[in-house]
Structure 1
Amino acid sequence: HAVSLLGRISEASAAEGALKICEEIDHLESDADRVMRSAMSKLFRNEPDVRELIKLKAIYEMLESITDRCEDVANLIEGIVLENS
């Protein structure tokens, strides 16, 4: 949704909306970091099967990478909005 607002960032409401979405993405990424650390800790404490541990660890790391990229995009959008306001 934030990307779709970029075409109208000269409008104050669109710029504010994009910045609000970016802020929410930052909060969600922080929440995802906490959840991932907790899940990873629980995984290493409770998973007896090494193969399953390795698979799940890779999945958790991929999800972490995805949330980080979303935050990167939000930061870029935020920069674009601020440069053009």
Structure 2
Amino acid sequence: MGKEEIIEKINDFLIDEFEVEAEDIQPEANLKDTLELDSLDFVDLVVAIEANFGVKLVGEDFVGITTLQDFYDLIENKIS
């Protein structure tokens, strides 16, 4: 799975599952502030990632993840 496909899949479920406005989805967007994801949303996000990409995420994976680009990179690295 290529980087563009990963980004597209993440963006699609942010829009569909988390009701994030498409125009708010920018690589520099802060996950907590701009996307308004709370701690429960992060749990849902982890479950969605596991279901969509088949990778397991743990709390330590999110250390230093602040922007959507960081998140894209995290998923890409987990898949590789």
- TM superposition score normalised by structure 1: 0.29
**Which of the pair has more CA radius of gyration?**
1
- TM superposition score normalised by structure 2: 0.30
Name which structure has the greater RCO, CA cutoff 8 Å, separation 6+: 1
